[in-house]
Structure 1
């Protein structure tokens, strides 16, 4: 069906509507023809039987008639009707149109061919059983009557078909006007115009399309805003380490002794490391600003154990103790890469901002149908005002001498939001430092 349908929706609707109307009209005409033919045959057969009964009664009254009767033509179908009366096998009466031989051989209704002409014949016997009456009518006369009847019935509806096609065209064109209006609005929108599309009096079939387009524009707007924010963040944050690297490189070029030159080169390498770490953080944050990829079942306990193994050398270098309490199975739905970044940022913050010989405790457990990831340290902690600002981009706690970009907490909160997780921050009751708990829905 799709091969012959036109490409436009309006053309398809018109083709289907007009095609269905023609099919229904043809089916109705065929059924009307069959029913009218049946009723006409019933009516004319009844007339044949009645005429035969009259002839039988007339023969019983012994009314003498000549053998050949040239009756006057009182109707245009009169020459197509004939009758015969036989008495003891002898033809005693017939009409001018009737042959000499019997028109039928058996009683009742029959359709026979006599001299190349098809007749509908009714045969009956007289009261004494010797007479036989045949009354016939040409089949062509019935067909002519049927054609005349059907012409009078179907001709007006056939004339109405073009009017119906015009009405269907107008109705379909009027119905697709909202789609035409929507296409015109989208055609004339500016590339940076991502506001919702307003379509007045939109039909119920078009409303989901408009809502889907508005949702798409919203996602595109969010993505573009994320890209703009990423560009601004990158330009803002990379300016400082690049300037520091350049300054150290100038110091190395101008240094007259090896110690000063080496110190400047070491500072340059450290600046490059900080810039590389900042770029990684910015890319992670940009990825977290996008939608969550296809969620999979992630074993959070095993993932936390692997991340803790990567962080452990840094903790040992500061003579810190890193304790891990992870059950055998604790699964969540999400993206393993993003979840690893979340855990790594929490552990890195705890190790980085805790003093030497501090304690860091990590636990993963399942309670009340949800999975809890908690990280506690014995560091200096944060006051309420500082905790309230955690998650702001590039916010760093004043007085901290550790290097950082201020993006770690933004990344943690964004990844948690993508996984429908809740982040709670407060003082640690056991270690007196900072306690962070991320609560995930269980897989």
Structure 2
């Protein structure tokens, strides 16, 4: 996809929601993890203090028992390694050393019983009932390792939960905005001729005001276009009557009484009236082609094609030397018969006007698989490839012939509202222009 066609995600609702929601979730997660870490630190610190206090009390009971049973007060000490994680010191009432788990450590005695910190240790000091001073301690590194292990074991599942939560947010935001994308796709695929109201009842409540506003816009556009078409229709009708009267009056002149110059002026006047009459008829046809789609039916187009060929030879007999119908394959198409009649008349008249002199016109009915094909060819010079789209514009004239410039515009308008594809190629038989209509066939056609 090119950069021009790539949607601007900076202004998308989904991106805005995600940019605001994801940081809130991440910050909330980090805050929760920080609070959990602080709470774990406090709990572990309290647990260490409680354990040390329990150790003090247990030690006090042991030494009290020894004293009561006349055990020797001087207990042999074991020289434990300095890196041992727990520390225990017992001093007698007279300050003599009874037990020290770390003899090499010189431990200061606090003035008050209770917990205190010393040189990376958490200490708990108490006096027993017999007057023994008991100090128990735990190395802080052990506590920190326990805290780190606890935070790590908690963070891993929390990180997984955060990833699942963020993924869920992305999916839920996308799914939540899916009705908006569905509405957008519906409007993109909607035929320009369709201005009927969209369904409001089955829309989410957030989209109902938008859909209602669109329906109001469709209604206003429909009324505006109907007024424009009615104006063109009325103008074309109003022009036909005075033009017919003018031409009738011109034809009452006795050309034998006119000199050569006046006879030429009269011919030019009649020719101008004919052009104005043709233009009013084309404007009327264009207005009808731009109306909402007429009722459709399924039918065989061959009778209409034969009638169109017959009408062409009668109206354009001075231009057309041969007009042939070639029904190669029976067709059974679904569209508006009036629109097909309008399309065939304008295609055949266009072929007669732009064909050779004299013109040869070929109307072909065939099929391509499940698609019906109606093609009109002429023996003219053809249409250059760079003008294949331009010729469908209103009032476009090639310069060689002075038609109304509305024929192919009428064809495309009537074709599009029936879902028909119109293409221009080089003629296969007459080597001029070939205009093809591809029409889906009904399912009940006999192959």
User: TM-score band (shorter)?
Assistant: 0.3 to 0.5
TM-score, scaled to structure 1 = 0.46
Q: When the two structures are superposed, what TM-score results if normalisation uses the length of structure 2?
A: 0.45
